Amino acid sequence: MFAVTATQTDFDDPLAGLTLGEHPEPEVPDGWTTVTVKAAALNHHDLWTLKGVGIRQERLPIVLGCDAAGIDEDGNEVIVHAVIGTETGAGADETLDPKRSLLSEVHDGTFAERVAVPRRNLVPKPAALGFEEAACLPTAWLTAYRMLFDKAGLEPGSTVLVQGAGGGVATALIALGRAGGYRVWATSRSEAKRARALELGADRVFEPGARLPERVDAVMETVGQATWDHSLKSLRPGGRIVVSGATSGAVPPADLNRVFFLQLSVVGSTMGSRDQLARLARFLEQTGTRPLIDRVLPLARAREGFAAMHGGEVFGKVVFTP
């Protein structure tokens, strides 16, 4: 079958290890099944893998890709949950499993014609969602859903600041926050991306580090070091930062005096559970909210999508169709 794989890693030139071509059919352990992929979405995780972050060299070559929607062996339209955990009981939260992994870390990922996954990791795809839209949900949109509706602890009408509008998680935060009844503010270095954020549903947009009209109830933080100081200073007393990434660096000054004096909370959030993915799909079905797709490319042109993400030239999700 045709697949997109990481065959080597290079932090400075990640696309050097991107290989497109024939790959063996997936092996299917007991309790697993195969999904014929109809659409798969690109994430920064895939670029980090090519840089050598979060992957052991003995795992190479490995098929890239965390997200997919497709057809299971029984002909059902499904969304693939990307978190592979060891706990399988009812209500299990795979994200808290210390032995968890994402597809494409230990097991081959979704950038292929077929992918093998645990049966429990299949979520029914609502008929109202197309395959390309559904493929955007398992990583970026699920991360945003958990940040907003689980970790933030907010009521509708609260004000949320989204740092770094443009990426997959940030655009999902804006769209979901708007649909959930929050007042959403966003920042971006790019004037064009600020304009797009307004179109997507942000109430106001600002340059990074700008003084805000008032302090916010919560900050959604995926940028890290470059925006951390602004995130802390933007919070009202008792406010909360929910952090799910640190693309600009992971060790900013903590400013602990501000944290304890203003009784701020810093909450980590990673991905989401299989049950949350199912609820996210229903939320989109009920509200009419849909993922913003930057471009759709055939899997054979995956290098173009990787290059666009590596160059910061995307707003929303890049989707591949095998």
Name the residue ranges covered by the structural domains of the chain.
2-136+291-321, 140-268
Q: Which two tokens stand for residue 279?
A: 């609820």
Class of domain 140-268: alpha beta
**What are the pLDDT digits (tens) for 90-133?**
567 889 988 899 999 999 999 999 999 999 999 999 999 999 99
Written as one letter, the residue type at 103 is L
User: What local confidence, expressed as pLDDT, does residue 35 receive?
Assistant: 98
Pairing of strands 2-6, 62-63: antiparallel
The proportion of the chain whose per-residue pLDDT surpasses 90, expressed as a percent, equals 90
Domain 2-136+291-321 CATH class label: alpha beta
Q: Name the residue with tokens 């700008």.
A: 210
- Cα–Cα dist 17/306, whole Å: 12
Residue with tokens 């299949």: 122
Q: Is 38 helix (H, G, I), strand (E, B) or coil?
A: strand
* Whole-number pLDDT of residue 291: 95
Alpha-carbon distances, residue 189 vs 226, 301, 312 (angstroms): 11, 29, 11
Distance CA 214, CA 188 (A): 18
Residue 255 and residue 232 in contact, taking contact as beta carbons nearer than 8 Å: yes
- CA 25 to CA 13: how far, in whole Å? 28
Q: What is the pLDDT of residues 273-308, one digit of tens each?
A: 999 999 999 999 999 999 999 999 999 999 999 999
- 90: exposed, middle or buried (Cβ count in 10 Å: 0-12, 13-18, 19+): exposed
Query: Which tens digits make up the pLDDT trace of 219-246?
Result: 999 999 999 999 999 999 999 999 998 8
Q: Are 103 and 30 in contact (CB under 8 A)?
A: no
